[in-house]
Amino acid sequence: MDWTGSVLAVIGLILLNFVWNQGPLVGWGKACIIVLLIVSIVILAIFVLYELRRAVIPLLPREIMKSRPMLMVLLALFLGWGSFGIFSFYYFAFLLNIRKYNVLWAGGTYFMFAIWGMIAALVVGFTIRRSTAPIILFLSMLAFTAGNVMFAVTPVHETYFRMNLGTMIVLSFGMDMSFPASSIMLSDFLPMQYQGMAGSLAYTMVNYSMSLCLGMATTVEKQVNDSGKNLLKGYRGAEYLSVGLAGLGIVVALIFMIENLWIERNENLERSKEENLS
């Protein structure tokens, strides 16, 4: 057990998460917030250096921390699910505080995720063998971005069964395409003895990104909502951040997909040459 790495990682990640979610509430000008932010970054830097150079049995395999393709997959997953975490919070706030839905009706609107989530999962199950995981990851980033754009421009006075319903359908594919695709790729990259770690690593990235990015969105909201007088403007600002995060996820996933397709193309060419020579 890598006790030193575990302590460093847990303390650093908790402090970083605490700072980003507490800063918008108490103000970023507080000395304690700035100090804790610096401390968290220093601890995480020490954790990375320790895992790379000193740990006998690293908490994370060195294959992960030194592999650019794996880091790209984790980054895309972080950006996509971070944008979804922002959507989840501000969607509910939008329904309750702007549209004045009651709590039961606001919660009931999530039924579309149950229906289309199953459909999206089935689609991925049937297409994953005919396509490749990098392509599915790229498509999931497109879905995250499209869903957040749709919500960011949703009119206040509009029935749920128009833009909101479409947003739910699109985001269902973002969720249920990104997680299995990233889990497959992470397990393929890792050595056999570490493949069981792939799913837990992806799951950790999903949950941590949703919490951390929500703190960033709250910071944006507080800066643009006219000191709390304009809720809609603040919500829109936070949602624009989620669009930016998901859009960056598209860029990362696109680069990864192109590189992967190029490598596969070269391998197929080499294989065909060897077959012709034989």
Give me the sign of the Cα torsion angle 219, 220, 222, 223.
Answer: positive
Summarize the confidence of residues 85-107 as an average pLDDT.
Answer: 92
Average pLDDT over residues 139-160: 93
Q: Rounded distance, CA 121 to CA 115, Å?
A: 10
pLDDT value of residue 24:
86
Residue 160: Cβ within 10 Å count: 18
pLDDT over 80 at 275, yes or no? no
Is residue 267 scored above 70 in pLDDT? yes
User: What is the average pLDDT across 116-137?
Assistant: 85
Residue position matching structure tokens 């932010």: 37
Centre a 10 Å sphere on the Cβ of residue 247 and count the other Cβ atoms it contains.
Answer: 17
* Per-residue pLDDT at 169 exceeds 90: yes
Residue 185 has pLDDT above 80, yes or no: yes
Q: What is the pLDDT of residue 128?
A: 77
Average of per-residue pLDDT values in the chain? 88
Q: Highest mean pLDDT range out of 142-151, 197-206, 225-234?
A: 142-151
Residue labelled with tokens 């703190």: 215
Report the alpha-carbon distance of residue 12 to residue 51 in Å, rounded: 14
Predicted local distance difference test score (pLDDT) of residue 181: 86
* Confidence bin at 278 (pLDDT 50/70/90): low
Name which of 72-86, 185-199, 213-227 the model is least confident about: 185-199
- What pLDDT score does 249 carry? 95
Give the dihedral sign, CA 25/28/32/36: positive
Q: Are 90 and 235 in contact (CB under 8 A)?
A: yes
Flag whether pLDDT at 194 surpasses 90.
no
Token pair for 74: 């984790």
Which pLDDT value is given to residue 180?
A: 85
From CA 75, how far away is CA 92, in angstroms rounded?
26
CA 97, 98, 102, 105: dihedral to nearest 10 degrees? -130
Q: What is the pLDDT of residue 79?
A: 95
Res 198 pLDDT > 80: no
Q: State the average pLDDT over residues 229-240.
A: 93
How confident is the model over 19-45, as pLDDT tens digits? 999 988 888 888 999 999 999 999 999
Give the closest residue to 42 by CA, choosing from 60, 19, 75: 19
